Amino acid sequence: MLKLTGDTTDAVRLTAVGKRYGRRDNPVVALRDVTTQFGRGTFTAIMGPSGSGTSTLMQCAAGLDHPTSGSVVLEEHELGEMNETELTRLRRDRIGFVFQSFNLLPVLTVRQNVTLPLQLAGRKPAPGLVASVLDQVGLAQRSNHRPAELSGGQQQRVAIARALVNDPAVIFADEPTGALDTRTARDILRLLRYSSQAAGQTIVMVTHDPVAASYADRVLFLADGRLVDELRSPNPDSVANRMTRLGAFADEDPAPRSATNRGGQR
Ligand SMILES: Nc1ncnc2c1ncn2[C@@H]1O[C@H](COP(=O)(O)OP(=O)(O)OP(=O)(O)O)[C@@H](O)[C@H]1O
Ligand SMILES: [Mg+2]
């Protein structure tokens, strides 16, 4: 069977995804045997200590990076079977990104940065759409400014507006609220939650912040490239508790722990 078909409830499915960087004699293993799925219209947070593979997981799920092993299916497309042109088209039409570094083009204004994906797709934004999205991220007054004239948090909000304006099926956001003050972060998180609940978009967000993660329906925890835990209906306390345990987990020897008796708990 070449293509996986049938189950249309998942926007993205990862099966046994592994990612290894660098040379064979000195590899960095960024992901190990990650299997999970992101249901349509769901909002998932991905957490883990720095270097645990959260960005790599997102890049692989979004077709921006190729896993070394395993499979990624996005909206029934097996990414490993697609060539670069097909991948580019899929990313352009179906996926929105908010990168850890904002990836704004310095010579373009806020408005031009936001509409760039639509222009690349040869589409025109619906009347009022760009103004409305810029208003939602609190940048209505800054549409003619260039990124260098904005703060880090404002640049981040331009990147979020750019991801939203294309109305993609899946939005991947890597630490979208990392540079924002509490109040602006809350507005952005509400916007992301609204996008999943009302607009049916699938949101996958990497964050280090338990409060940000509590806006999601589900939190996945990574340690040393491995999916080690999952929490549904999170709240800031339950997320912080798991993160504390995860810190202890990440400090352990990454060798198989089969010989370790972890108190008989599962
Ligand atoms: N291009 C690369 N070449 C070699 N190693 C890489 C490359 N990209 C990432 N890595 C390594 O893979 C591991 C996972 O990196 P990744 O960027 O996914 O971490 P992260 O969980 O996003 O961390 P942070 O929270 O600090 O952003 C790290 O050890 C990193 O050094
Ligand atoms: Mg990262």
Q: What is the pLDDT of residues 216-236, one digit of tens each?
A: 999 999 999 999 999 999 999
- Shortest-distance atom of ligand 1 to CA 59: 18
Cα(122) to centroid of ligand 2, in Å? 31
Whether the Cβ atoms of residue 73 and residue 2 lie closer than 8 Å to each other = no
Residue-wise over 72-108: b if at least 16 C-beta within 10 A, else e?
A: bbbbebebeeeeeeebeebbbebbbbbbbebebeeee
User: Shortest CA distance to 70 belongs to which of 42, 27, 37?
Assistant: 37
Residue 265's pLDDT band (cuts 50, 70, 90): very low
Nearest CA to ligand 1 atom 30: 51
Nearest CA to ligand 1 atom 4: 21
78 has pLDDT over 90: yes
Cα(130) to centroid of ligand 1, in Å? 34
User: Who surrounds ion ligand 2 at CB < 5 A?
Assistant: 55
pLDDT per position as a tens digit, 168-185 = 999 999 999 888 889 889
Cα(17) to centroid of ligand 2, in Å? 17
Percent of the chain with pLDDT over 70: 90
pLDDT per position as a tens digit, 36-59 = 999 999 999 999 999 999 999 999
Q: Which CATH number fits domain 10-102+168-251: 3.40.50.300, 3.30.559.10, 3.40.1520.20, 3.90.950.10?
A: 3.40.50.300
CA count, 13 A, side-chain hemisphere, 216: 28
Cα(105) to centroid of ligand 2, in Å? 21
Per-residue pLDDT, 256: 42
Cα(206) to centroid of ligand 2, in Å? 8
**Ligand that lies nearest to the alpha carbon of residue 49, given by its number in the listed order:** 1
Sign of CA dihedral 100, 106, 112, 118: negative
Residue 249's pLDDT band (cuts 50, 70, 90): low
Pocket of ligand 1, candidates 17, 47, 55, 172: which has the most ligand atoms within 8 Å of its Cβ, to mutate? Answer: 55
pLDDT per position as a tens digit, 26-39 = 889 999 999 999 99
Pocket of ligand 1, candidates 26, 56, 227: which has the most ligand atoms within 8 Å of its Cβ, to mutate? Answer: 56
Whether the Cβ atoms of residue 212 and residue 205 lie closer than 8 Å to each other = yes
**pTM for the structure as a whole:** 0.86
